[in-house]
């Protein structure tokens, strides 16, 4: 069965008019979130993540562009579509004097009938079953964040939107959230996860859009972006002689070395030529492999490029 697209935005744009200036918070955003994916929305602070999420949830009115959720236009169908969606935003509401379980009951009652087995189920998913009876004000920040996720799961949403859910958490709290997200992904839910942390996206997401200053500068499967590298890792008998032999080659962009390896960036189609040149210079090549430049390099590189472009424009 072909996977559908759960979120599609087309030219989505938002500017805020402040007294001093017009801020372009989201600039012509086109993203497609595949059904069942864990989709990372990665960008530094101020890049437009929360504003985008606000528009996806119908809380912020777009200045231009359109949003489809579950293949239907948000404009006309928003209440019906948002019923299939839940979100965890900053400062999710909860009653501090009520226990975790009672908070869930209150929210369940607001939505209609209280399904106790559903409450047990969501407490279980977020690992709060044991502490469900304690007032939520006694919870750690991580536990409160997990309770917020439990609240979001009550309605059994197909799409869960999480805005920087690990902000401010300690390492173990971060691991808990990451595990919950993975678990939800395994259940087939579509997860839209905003983050400014590369390794977080690298670890849990299968798709990513990289956002900078309101614009998507790259998107696609994390695997593909990870292995986009045209960087070559080579083990040779004489690293110095090898870098000398290659140093004036015009189509090689960078040559780096460490104690063990020679790292070369050049168009992938040229990789065999590098080998040939080294062999012709009498250098023995023991190993030659494409090095997977991490999403981190990619992310930082992409942002740098964007800055340079902006500077040259
Ligand atoms: N209500 C608002 N009024 C004016 N500017 C805003 C408002 N909300 C966000 N912004 C601006 O829009 C940009 C994007 O903000 P935001 O979406 O919160 O980014 P992120 O969530 O990625 O940190 C920032 O420059 C921010 O200052
Ligand atoms: Mg934000």
pLDDT beneath 50: ranges in the chain? 1
Residues 222 and 236 in one domain: no
Which of 25, 162, 213 for a ligand 1 pocket mutation test, highest count of atoms within 8 Å of Cβ?
25
Same domain, 213 and 264: no
Q: For 278-295, how does the pLDDT look when each residue is reduced to its tens digit (9 = 90+)?
A: 999 999 999 998 876 666
Q: Is there a single domain that holds both residue 42 and residue 171?
A: yes
Q: At what angle do helices 116-125 and 100-111 cross, to 10 degrees?
A: 130
Q: Does residue 51 line the site of ligand 1, with CB under 6 A?
A: yes
* Residues 256, 182 share a domain: no
Residue 103 sits in the same domain as residue 250: no
Together in a domain, 95 and 118: yes
Distance CA 236, CA 281 (A): 12
User: Which of 19, 42, 47, 48 is the pocket-test mutation for ligand 1 (most atoms within 8 Å of CB)?
Assistant: 48
- pLDDT tens for each residue of 67-122: 999 999 998 778 888 999 999 998 778 899 999 999 999 999 988 888 999 999 99
Instruction: Specify if 123 maps to a domain.
Output: yes
Q: Which residues have CB under 8 Å from 94's CB, separation 6+?
A: 103, 136, 144, 147, 148, 151
Same domain, 194 and 242: no
In this prediction, residue 9 carries a pLDDT of: 97
Predicted confidence at residue 1, as pLDDT, reads 43
C-alpha 17/C-alpha 173 separation (Å) is 37
pLDDT at residue 137 in the model: 94
Q: Which residue do the tokens 């780096």 mark?
A: 256
Q: Are residues 20 and 160 in the same domain?
A: yes
Mutate to test the pocket of ligand 1, among 46, 47, 210, 214 (most ligand atoms within 8 A of CB): 46
Using the mean position of ligand 2's atoms as its centre, give its distance from the Cα of residue 217 in Å: 18
Distance (angstroms) between ligand 2 centre and the Cα of 88 equals: 12
The pLDDT, as a whole number, for residue 90 is 85
Tell whether 53 and 186 lie within a shared domain: yes
Ligand with smallest separation from the Cα of 167: 2
Q: How many A from CA of 59 to the centre of ligand 2? A: 14
CA distance 151 to 53: 18
What's residue 311's pLDDT?
67
Residue 272: which CATH number? Answer: 3.30.70.100
> Domain range spanning residue 92?
5-226
């Amino acid at each position: 069965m072909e996977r559908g697209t759960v979120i599609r935005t087309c030219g989505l744009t938002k500017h805020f008019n402040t007294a001093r200036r017009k801020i372009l918070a989201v600039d012509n955003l086109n993203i497609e979130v595949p059904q069942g994916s864990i989709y990372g929305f990665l960008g530094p602070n101020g890049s437009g993540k929360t504003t985008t999420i606000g528009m996806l949830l119908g809380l912020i009115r777009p200045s231009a562009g359109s949003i489809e959720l579950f293949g239907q236009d948000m404009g006309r169908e928003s209440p019906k579509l948002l019923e299939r969606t839940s979100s965890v935003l900053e400062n999710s509401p909860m009653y501090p004097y009520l226990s975790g379980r009672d908070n869930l009951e209150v929210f369940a009652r607001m939505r209609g009938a209280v399904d106790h087995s559903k409450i047990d189920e969501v407490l279980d998913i977020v690992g709060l079953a044991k502490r469900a009876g304690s007032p939520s004000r006694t919870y750690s920040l991580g536990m409160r964040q997990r309770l917020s996720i439990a609240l979001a799961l009550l309605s059994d949403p197909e799409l869960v939107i999480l805005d920087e859910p690990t902000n401010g958490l300690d390492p173990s709290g971060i691991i808990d959230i990451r595990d919950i997200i993975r678990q939800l992904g395994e259940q087939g839910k579509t997860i839209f996860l905003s983050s400014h942390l590369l390794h977080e996206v690298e670890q849990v997401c299968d798709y990513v859009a990289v956002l900078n200053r309101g614009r998507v500068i790259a998107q696609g499967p994390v695997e593909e972006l990870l292995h986009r590298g045209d960087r070559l890792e080579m083990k040779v008998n004489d690293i110095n002689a090898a870098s000398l032999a290659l140093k004036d080659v015009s189509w090689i962009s960078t040559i780096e070395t460490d104690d063990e390896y020679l790292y070369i960036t050049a168009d992938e189609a040229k990789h065999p030529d590098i080998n040939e040149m080294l062999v012709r210079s009498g250098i023995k090549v023991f190993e030659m492999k494409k090095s997977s430049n991490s999403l981190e390099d990619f992310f930082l590189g992409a942002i740098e490029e964007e800055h340079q472009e902006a500077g040259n424009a």
